[in-house]
Amino acid sequence: MVAAAVIWPRGTSAQQPDRALVQQRLADSRRLSTAEVDQILDLVRQVSGGRPFHLTSDRGRFAVDIVIERDGHVRYIRDAAGNTFSEYTGRIARYCDGTVAAGEFVVEYRHGPEGWAVAARASSPTDLLRPIFDVLVGLKPMVDGGRTVDSAREFSTVWNAGLAPSGRTPDGGGGAARSTFILADPTISGLETLVVDPATLLPLRWEFTYRVPPGSATDRTTVIYRFDYDSALSVEPPSAGLTMPMCVEPGASISGR
């Protein structure tokens, strides 16, 4: 029997799918069609929107708190120490001379010896965690990867990714240990996987499997980030009576690092 192309009946709004049908389909081992994957991930975004979560690397060198919106767009990112906070406004970035920047208007808060300071920048494809956010917001076509050993469901996409010239691996971390994803490097390819919990419809993990530099002990390795939802977690911009920037100053960093 051929799997249905859609999960909820014709005439049902894609904005209000039958959640029970989606959960049932996720638990089914039959391969999901492209249409079903799109519908499921749309519901995953809606369910995840507005729910703060901790994002941590399995290698123990990276942790941030995040809020996304119901369309999967990242809204807030706060480092684990609470000293930096990024607000992705969803607006087009403009320089202070009136020209349009190639990116989204991002407000950056940083806490130092003299208190909070705030500045603005334009987002960039090399922003920290950009590969994960591009998957969440639906910018990359995903295919059904089947059920996992822990009874979750995985969705994958092939992605060409490179490492920083230093050869550091994309396992997160801060300062000198922080990684860089280079989207245009054709020499190293990887597989991105988003793992979803069929019961809650929330993302559980983002995994990136890639080839390592020649001479390593193995030819491939997998980096895993975990989503940990916390109902008591509050992620809001610092309230410090700051004068908010209205434009991006010339020379402002666009790397997000």
Q: How far is CA 154 from the centre of its chain?
A: 15
Share the mean pLDDT of the chain. Answer: 81
Structure tokens at 216: 């390593």
Q: Which two tokens stand for residue 17?
A: 């799918």
Residues 135, 194: contact at Cβ < 8 Å? yes
Both tokens of 47, joined, read 């369910």
Express each pLDDT in 205-221 by its tens digit: 999 888 766 666 667 78
Q: What is the maximum alpha-carbon separation in the chain?
A: 67
Say how far apart CA 73 and CA 254 lie, in whole Å: 18
Average pLDDT in the 35-47 region? 93
- Range from 62-66, 122-126, 174-178 carrying the lowest mean pLDDT: 174-178
DSSP 8-state class, residue 229:
E
Share of the chain above pLDDT 70, in %: 76
pLDDT at 166 over 50: no
Distance CA(9)–CA(215), nearest Å, equals 53
- The CA-based angle 68-71-73, given to 5 degrees, is 45
Among 166-175, 190-199, 238-247, the least confident range: 166-175
Backbone torsions φ then ψ of 43, nearest 5 degrees? -70, -40
Query: In 3D, which of 166, 214, 206, 156 has the Cα closest to residue 187?
Result: 214
Mean pLDDT check: name the lowest of 72-76, 149-153, 195-199, 246-250.
246-250
Q: Render pLDDT for 132-144 as a digit per residue (tens, 0 to 9).
A: 888 899 888 899 9
Which amino acid belongs to residue 69?
Answer: E
Give the span between the Cα atoms of 180 and 109, in whole angstroms.
21
Q: How confident is the model at residue 124 (pLDDT cuts 50, 70, 90)?
A: confident
How far is Cα 180 from Cα 230, in angstroms, rounded to an integer?
28
Q: What does the DSSP 8-state code read for residue 248?
A: B
What amino acid occupies position 250?
P
- Domain ranges in the chain are 19-50+128-229
Q: What is the pTM of this model?
A: 0.80
Residue 169 has pLDDT above 60, yes or no: no
